[in-house]
């Protein structure tokens, strides 16, 4: 494997992208109301996002969240503070504690997003900006494919998701590195991005380069376009499912009478996050058909039927994290 492949650099990069070109590829920033929180780890993606958000006059507030998962991680906040001073933006630092155990990466992410949302409310900011790039999008498509995700999962990350905004999905990872180099910004290197025991790093450094070699082309833009198509089609089907089975009525008979494909989508919409497994959706439909009185789902969720109406108890919040400012 070549040094270029080993470093995770795509076959065709845009190392010479200018800041003005990057701004033209981030039109979503022009729709953001000021101020906005920028999730800022100190890596090139988040620092480039901070610089672009400052140029877009959204009055960004850089927020660094330390998970305390590796020695010296608290010093990365200093990198963010220096970049914020150079770019003339506000900055905040926060910390979370995540207990050791399975699925650590996902639990750390969830805890981080909770902190970012808390600070967004506290700072009266319009949104939380995160620095996911087109490369992240392609990796997410493959990750969700391996999990057996439905069409909505293959749509990967949406540019707008509630109070979360992803303005950099039109940029490559090489673009954000080029921006930081042009602005002479110090960046943090997160060693977990190279640790192939994490599935995303494995996909980044091994799977995607291998697939690109076999296809003879850069697959990142192709996977990103596929994700966009899946999101559009999934949104259309979601609207059809919601119209076919309005959640504010949730009549069991109406759900059971739907075409199975539409019924499964209606159940997923009704239950919300986290997305239920196929077996759980089938269990809910069995309750709708009157085959069972109730169904217990993961995360403490429960579904039951009373007087012909479906009810569900949402997931109980986990209590394995703490927040410190």
pLDDT score, position 106: 78
- The topology under which CATH files domain 245-313 is 3.30.465
Domains 3-220 and 245-313 share a fold: no
Compute the average pLDDT of residues 228-253: 94
Q: Are 142 and 11 in contact (CB under 8 A)?
A: no
Q: How confident is residue 171, by pLDDT bands cut at 50, 70 and 90? A: very high
pLDDT score, position 321: 31
- The topology under which CATH files domain 3-220 is Rossmann fold (3.40.50)
**Cα 226 to the chain's mean position, in Å?**
17
Q: How far apart are the first and last CA of the chain?
A: 44
Question: Is the pLDDT assigned to residue 11 strictly greater than 50?
Answer: no
Q: How confident is residue 139, by pLDDT bands cut at 50, 70 and 90? A: very high
Q: How confident is residue 315, by pLDDT bands cut at 50, 70 and 90? A: low
pLDDT score, position 316: 57
Lowest mean pLDDT among 34-43, 83-92, 107-116: 107-116
The residue among 38, 57, 58 whose CA lies nearest residue 48 is 38
Q: How confident is residue 75, by pLDDT bands cut at 50, 70 and 90? A: confident
Lowest mean pLDDT among 3-17, 90-104, 117-131, 194-208: 3-17
Q: Are 67 and 96 in contact (CB under 8 A)?
A: yes
Q: Are 94 and 124 in contact (CB under 8 A)?
A: no
Q: Which residue has the tokens 């394995």?
A: 320
- Three-state DSSP class for residue 64: strand
Question: Is the pLDDT assigned to residue 2 strictly greater than 60?
Answer: no
- Residue 59 neighbours by CB under 8 Å, 6+ apart: 34, 35, 36, 89, 90
Question: Is the pLDDT assigned to residue 96 strictly greater than 50?
Answer: yes
Dist CA 322 CA 180 (whole Å): 32
Residue-wise burial string across 49-70, b where 16 or more C-beta atoms lie within 10 A, e elsewhere: bbbbbbbbebbbbbbbbbbeee
Compute the average pLDDT of residues 12-28: 83
- Residue 73 neighbours by CB under 8 Å, 6+ apart: 66, 67
- Three-state DSSP class for residue 287: helix
Widest CA span of the chain, in angstroms?
A: 66
Domain boundaries, the chain: 3-220, 245-313
**Cα 164 to the chain's mean position, in Å?**
9
Question: Is the pLDDT assigned to residue 9 strictly greater than 50?
Answer: no
The residue among 311, 279, 285 whose CA lies nearest residue 298 is 279
């Amino acid at each position: 494997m070549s040094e270029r492949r080993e470093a995770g650099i795509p076959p065709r990069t845009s190392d010479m992208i200018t800041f003005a070109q990057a701004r033209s590829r981030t039109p979503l920033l022009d729709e953001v109301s000021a101020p906005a929180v920028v999730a800022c780890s100190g890596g090139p993606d988040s620092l480039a996002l901070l610089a672009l958000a400052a140029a877009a006059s959204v009055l960004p507030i850089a927020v660094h969240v330390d998970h305390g998962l590796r020695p010296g991680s608290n010093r990365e906040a200093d990198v963010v503070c220096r970049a914020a001073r150079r770019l003339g933006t506000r900055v905040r630092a926060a910390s979370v504690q995540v207990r050791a155990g399975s699925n650590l990466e996902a639990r750390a992410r969830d805890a981080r997003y909770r902190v970012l949302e808390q600070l967004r409310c506290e700072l009266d900011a319009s949104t939380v900006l995160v620095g996911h790039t087109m490369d992240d999008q392609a990796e997410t498509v493959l990750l969700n494919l391996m999990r057996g995700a439905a069409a909505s999962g293959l749509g990967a990350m949406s540019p707008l998701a509630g109070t979360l905004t992803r303005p950099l999905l039109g940029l490559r990872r090489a673009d954000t590195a080029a921006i930081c180099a042009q602005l002479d910004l110090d960046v943090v290197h997160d060693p977990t991005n190279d640790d192939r025991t994490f599935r995303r790093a494995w996909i980044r450094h091994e799977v995607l380069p291998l697939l690109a070699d076999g296809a003879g082309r850069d697959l990142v833009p192709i996977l990103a376009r596929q994700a966009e198509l899946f999101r559009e089609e999934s949104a259309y089907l979601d609207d059809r499912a919601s119209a076919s089975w309005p959640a504010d009525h949730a009549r069991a008979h109406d759900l059971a009478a739907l075409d199975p494909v539409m019924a499964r989508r209606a159940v997923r919409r009704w239950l919300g996050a986290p997305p239920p497994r196929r077996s759980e959706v089938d269990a809910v439909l069995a309750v709708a058909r009157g085959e069972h009185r109730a169904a217990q789902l993961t995360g403490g969720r429960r579904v039951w039927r009373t007087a012909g109406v479906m009810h569900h108890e949402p997931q109980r919040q986990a209590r394995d994290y703490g927040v410190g400012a």
